[in-house]
A and B are shown apart, each in its own frame.
Chain A
């Protein structure tokens, strides 16, 4: 049933990485509880444009929970008050009439703010570039069915590969560690025979890059797993640690 609510929004505004940021307060009214959180933000922005003010900048693209672009820290939780969803999948039925909603960007040293709620997550790309792949060129590869892969391994690899690179794990972690993200990629590839070959080298290269880029260390608080919209398990971190150990022992 369609219902509407009124909200007070406390939104982080910041002009650039080096500028000083601040909260601004806005009111939005008659928000349908069937609308998504980002549609509510669209309504806010239409309102700001009609007042000749600059709309709030936020990242988004697919609006269906798969591209990993949306990234809001809502009422103290990455991706807001619902489980297993991204910000773009969050719906206004999760909020109460009259509520004050605080909206911030991801906060982590390795993710500098670009503008308002938009942060720079290119550090994740750099970690992948350091080793998050199988080293094969186009062409000259074996037939796809040449190597049978046990279904449970393929399924586990698929689960780990579901990471959307959103960065919520980093935002949720008090140390701003990227271990869940890194471990998901390391596990995905290590679980498959095609990726197994380089598993140890990959783990070492990716961890080294992660450290270099200013992400913190992992102290096993498990906050990342709780906030991950794709249910990436911290069991992957254990697997990463094993691979990493193997790599170090091999030195």
Chain B
């Protein structure tokens, strides 16, 4: 049985990272060239890590399923990135950012990691500016900040509504510079399909060339998974179509722990679902909540008339509107954290006050901001988001309120890592959204970009070195070692099996079924009975998939249905893990809301005496239930209290 050891350095919280860096092992320049590091994923976490390790002189191999590193899902992040710069002089500090993140995560994150995150946040902004990231500025020429949900200070840096794009392009350009310098070799349209373990250590991967269909073996002294989150388990989410959880599942099968799978974030402000054909959900950045006010009609009959198309939102008088967030949470108002805002929207819609044709929508209204600041100001802040909305919904949000509804957005759970971002398999690291480390049960807005870049620029370059320092005498292996051959054979068998099913159902039709089960039973509100049902449903879907999926074409050349099928097989396993974890966690915390555990006012009720731990799941075989291990969470610097945004 593996033991959970988070390897948190000694010393007071604020000194841990400095102490670590002061005492870690280093690799000298001539040895770096002899060490190969595989980095899977070129999102913010992967691209920044690959560029930094390349600059340091390691021999890096970088993999992505897209045609270019610049297209990773990170490109879509809109709102911004947090840092504790305190440029606006509104009382921010490293401690406050740390505290807000721990509190926002509902006291389910590891203190030491979160503190380090807050500590390196400022360096990220410096780095990005040096790379030429065009952050928004004020007339004086200095950087502008905005506020985001879950914080009472303005600490969010942004580049229009395209912050992720600009940060990723910065990291991508740094990466391409290393490709040019020959320190990084890039493999695009190439998918990790398994991890190779030699003598208990991660030593390489099997990758599939998505253009030729060929399987290739790659050796690395260490392997980093920066493969993003698994929100697409739900089929409909705000994630890019290609986002997937397969690398995490491959690691899980090889013995890596999967931590807190049930912590998924539902984002309150997405464009509502239209119809059957819908392929993804579009996020409207949370930053809109700075200037938009959320409401539904206060009278049921008005809501009904709106749903029937007989009344327009602009016809509803001010006193007949229910600005329910401002009403329930006067201190934070429209800026409450995401989980709170999402549940409040669901509550209103379930109670019959929802709008839109389906009744599953609420308004996000900019009228008072436009009256106060002028249309120009609103346009300069959110122009591209408004345009995006209008192209999709065919309504002008400057004139009529936007309609929004919650959707799956981000997964806080992921591959378990210790303080060094190393999994329980030596040599296997995980970074960015793919790991579970910093956000506890709920992630605050603008903190994922911060975490991805913290991991890639400022954490992994140190911690990997500490690991590799013991490996300088390990020569490059040939990929003809038996472990490589066997792993490749197993992968080939799996793909052949998928191709041989020759059933009747398309991959998407089964994926939609999985998504529906997840949304209904493992979504915003969960309960024991529903979760037990979900586990059963997912088992049925698994059976249906493995006996009735249809994949046209063959294994040679490009076969997109085969790619999708392989990922769906893994999503089904993740769905099962999510449901099991949610069933085990008999409390409500952050994004995980168990209906049995709520206060009289309907707020999440934690059970700190029983559940102040990270759930770490160990794979026990396809036909057995996974085993649960616990990493107890010890808080030295903050006191656990019930979150209060009133």
A52 to chain B, nearest CB (A): 6
> Which of B66-74, B474-482, B610-618 lies at the binding interface?
B66-74
Selected from B85, B188, B280, the residue in CB contact (under 8 A) with A144 is B85
State whether the Cβ of A168 lies closer than 8 Å to any Cβ in chain B. no
B236 to chain A, nearest CB (A): 11
Beta-carbon contact of B162 and A66 below 8 Å: yes
CA distance A59 to B560 in the complex (A): 10
B619 to chain A, nearest CB (A): 29
Beta-carbon contact of A46 and B132 below 8 Å: no
Beta-carbon contact of B52 and A138 below 8 Å: yes
State whether the Cβ of B392 lies closer than 8 Å to any Cβ in chain A. yes
Beta-carbon contact of B159 and A158 below 8 Å: yes
In the complex, which range does the number of interface residues on chain B fall in? 35 or more
> Which of A5-13, A35-43, A232-240 lies at the binding interface?
A35-43
User: Nearest chain-A residue to B387 (Cβ)?
Assistant: A84
Given contacts A46-B508, A189-B132, contact A149 B137 (CB under 8 A): yes
List of A residues within 8 angstroms of B461 by Cβ: 138
User: Nearest chain-B residue to A193 (Cβ)?
Assistant: B132
List of B residues within 8 angstroms of A32 by Cβ: 274-275, 277
CA distance A151 to B138 in the complex (A): 6
Interface centre among A38, A62, A91, A162 (most CB of B within 10 A): A62
Selected from A115, A122, A132, A135, the residue in CB contact (under 8 A) with B188 is A122
A76 to chain B, nearest CB (A): 21
A151 to chain B, nearest CB (A): 5
State whether the Cβ of A121 lies closer than 8 Å to any Cβ in chain B. yes
Beta-carbon contact of B137 and A192 below 8 Å: no
Beta-carbon contact of A161 and B508 below 8 Å: no
User: Nearest chain-B residue to A160 (Cβ)?
Assistant: B134
The total number of A-B Cβ pairs within 8 Å is: 220
Interface of chain A residues 170 through 208 with chain B (CB within 8 A): 188-189, 192, 194-195
State whether the Cβ of A250 lies closer than 8 Å to any Cβ in chain B. no
Beta-carbon contact of A38 and B279 below 8 Å: yes
State whether the Cβ of A63 lies closer than 8 Å to any Cβ in chain B. yes
Given contacts A141-B127, A148-B141, A150-B141, contact A91 B557 (CB under 8 A): no
List of B residues within 8 angstroms of A138 by Cβ: 48, 51-52, 55, 127, 174, 457-458, 461
Selected from A57, A151, A161, A165, the residue in CB contact (under 8 A) with B141 is A151
User: Nearest chain-A residue to B133 (Cβ)?
Assistant: A161
Kindly list the 3 A-B residue pairs having the minimum CB-CB distance in the complex, ordered from nearest. A148-B141, A133-B173, A141-B130
Q: List 9 A-B contacts (CB under 8 A).
A: A16-B557, A34-B275, A36-B279, A62-B240, A65-B391, A91-B391, A136-B174, A148-B142, A149-B137
14 more A-B residue pairs beyond the given contacts A138-B174, A139-B123, with a C-beta to C-beta distance below 8 A: A35-B277, A62-B75, A62-B241, A67-B73, A69-B66, A69-B71, A115-B557, A129-B180, A132-B176, A135-B177, A154-B137, A158-B160, A161-B134, A165-B71
A residues with a Cβ closer than 8 A to B are: 2, 15-16, 32, 34-36, 38-40, 42-43, 46, 48-50, 52-55, 57, 59-69, 82, 84-85, 89, 91, 93, 114-115, 118, 120-122, 124-125, 128-130, 132-139, 141-145, 148-151, 154-155, 157-158, 161-162, 164-165, 188-189, 192, 194-195
